[in-house]
Amino acid sequence: MIGRFENLILGHVVNPQWKVGKICCAVLLQTLLLLVVCQLLLLAKLGQFTDLIFLSEALLALTIAPYLACSGLNKFLPPLVSTDLWRLARLDPRRSWVSIVLGSQVYTFCFLGFATLIFLILIPSISTITYLKVVQLQLVIVVYIVVAASVGGLWWRVFRHEIYATEVTYLGWILLIGGVFLLGPLDRVIDTLEPIIPPFLHLNPLSAVCHLLEIDVFRTPHLYELTPIPSYRVVYPPWHIVCIWQILIGICCVTLGRWQHI
């Protein structure tokens, strides 16, 4: 009886402290990753630090959210011995697909809240980026976290394997973000790419960040010759239009992810 009482007390005291510790570690780790990605973009000379920190945050959200979603879904599979049965297993009936996918992003949202606070304090004082733009950029990141998690969750329903699902999700982001670099061969065959470029920019999740920051990464020294975009007069689509496209992608993934036949 005393042992049970002690376990009950320790469960209420140690468990919350452990959760706070895990959140702090996750925020610290994501902060370090953010700085590493930003440093790589700086080495590529894609812009100034205050601009690239937001591009890095968007890339980090698109990278971490799918893995956390797939890892979270993996934890709620019924324990089965057979690999074939494991792949066909249903989720824990007490938890829905949506709740697991969104619940897995707790650490990412904690980091986002921390980053938002730091950016609101520092960025407007050292650059021309206003408080409103900082808030808008963080709203864009929220959309990307939810959409990326939904995409990863959908592929997990298909493969029932967190690594495979995460890799396929990353491949999708590479195609959406790097698809503009595939326009080079088309430029040699087609007279003008002006009607073709806008769809690539609308589906590119980084376009929203570039529009809000009023930067053009494709006209930087390292990317200028890798894509034909600088040769044409193109305008980045408004950030809210890009977010709408991403939300539509997320809605499709949620609908398919909740479909019991997948």
Tens digit of each residue's pLDDT (9 = 90 or more) over 45-92: 888 999 999 999 999 999 999 999 999 988 876 544 444 554 555 555
Domain count, the chain: 1
Gyration radius (Cα) of the chain, Å:
21
Determine, yes or no, domain membership for 10: no
Provide the sign of the torsion angle of the four alpha carbons 72, 78, 82, 87, taken in this order.
negative
Determine, yes or no, domain membership for 23: no
* Residue 14's pLDDT band (cuts 50, 70, 90): very low
Determine, yes or no, domain membership for 41: yes
Phi–psi pair at 194, nearest 5 degrees: -60, -40
Cβ neighbourhood burial of 145 (10 Å; 0-12, 13-18, 19+): buried
Provide, rounded to the nearest whole percent, the portion of the chain with pLDDT above 70: 84
Kindly report, residue by residue over 143-169, the tens digit of the pLDDT: 999 999 999 999 998 888 889 999 999
Determine, yes or no, domain membership for 247: yes
- For the whole model, what pTM was predicted? 0.85
C-alpha dist (Å) from residue 17 to 28, 40, 189: 16, 35, 62
Would you state the pLDDT for residue 260?
55
Determine, yes or no, domain membership for 7: no
Determine, yes or no, domain membership for 2: no
What residues make up the domain containing 240?
Answer: 29-84+98-257
Determine, yes or no, domain membership for 262: no
Cα–chain-centroid distance for residue 119?
Answer: 19
Determine, yes or no, domain membership for 11: no
Would you state the pLDDT for residue 202?
93
What angle, 0 to 180 degrees and rounded to 10, lies between the N-to-C axes of helices 239-257 and 131-159? Answer: 30
- Region 219-246 average pLDDT: 84
Tell which residue, 251, 230, 218, has the closest CA to residue 187. Answer: 230
